[in-house]
Structure formats: structure tokens, C-alpha cells
């Protein structure tokens, strides 16, 4: 299936791009994050990366569906 991934802040810098689409065989959001963290050597452990799928916060065990847009959210620091 095809997934679209968006990166913000620290993770965008470490990935070197803002978004990408690719074929994935990750079953869940958590699997995808673990895969990306390892592939791109993120400085953050997957446990510290939250996600949104199609515009809503998601849990790690959410099952991925073809065409999903997954946003990787590093620890927030507003205010």
C-alpha cells in the first residue's frame, strides 16, 4: 500500500524533506514509525514520536490503510 508521510521540526531536519509518499508493508502506525526511526537514524526513540493519521491524533496500534497520511510529531514545545 501507499502511505504519505509528513515530517515536522527536528524530524523534518533529520529526514531532510517535508513529506514523501512510498510503498509500505508496515501493519500499524507504530510499525511505520519504528521503521522510519531506524532507517533515518532519528535522534528520538519511537516512544517519543507521536502521530496523526489523516488529521487526527493516532495510537501506535492503529492499522494503516492504503492512502493514509501519517504525520510524525516530535515532542511539542510551544509557549
Partner 1 sequence: MFKLASEPIVSTTLNQEGAGGFVTFEGKVRNQAEGRPVNRLEYEAYVELAESEGRKLVQEAIEKFSLISAEVIHRIGVLELGETAVLIQVASPHRREAFAGCEWIIDQLKVRVPIWKKEHFADGDSVWVVPSEENKV
Residues 14-53 that bind partner 1 (CB under 8 A): 44, 48, 52
Give the nearer residue to partner 1 in terms of CB position, either 25 or 78: 78
Q: In what order do the strands lie in the sheet with 56-58?
A: 19-23, 2-7, 69-73, 50-53, 56-58
- Which helix (H) or strand (E) segment holds residue 57: the answer is strand 56-58
Q: How far is the CB of 10 from partner 1 (least distance, A)?
A: 4
Q: How far is the CB of 78 from partner 1 (least distance, A)?
A: 3
Q: How far is the CB of 13 from partner 1 (least distance, A)?
A: 7
User: What's the count of helices (H) and strands (E) in the chain, helices before strands?
Assistant: 2, 5
Amino acid at each position: 500500500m501507499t502511505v504519505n508521510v509528513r515530517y515536522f521540526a527536528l524530524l523534518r531536519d533529520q529526514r531532510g524533506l517535508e513529506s514523501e509518499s512510498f510503498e509500505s508493508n508496515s501493519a500499524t502506525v507504530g510499525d511505520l514509525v519504528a521503521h522510519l526511526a531506524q532507517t533515518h537514524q532519528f535522534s528520538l526513540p519511537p516512544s517519543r514520536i507521536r502521530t496523526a493519521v489523516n488529521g487526527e491524533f493516532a495510537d501506535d496500534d492503529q492499522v494503516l490503510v492504503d492512502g493514509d497520511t501519517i504525520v510524525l510529531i516530535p515532542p511539542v514545545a510551544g509557549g
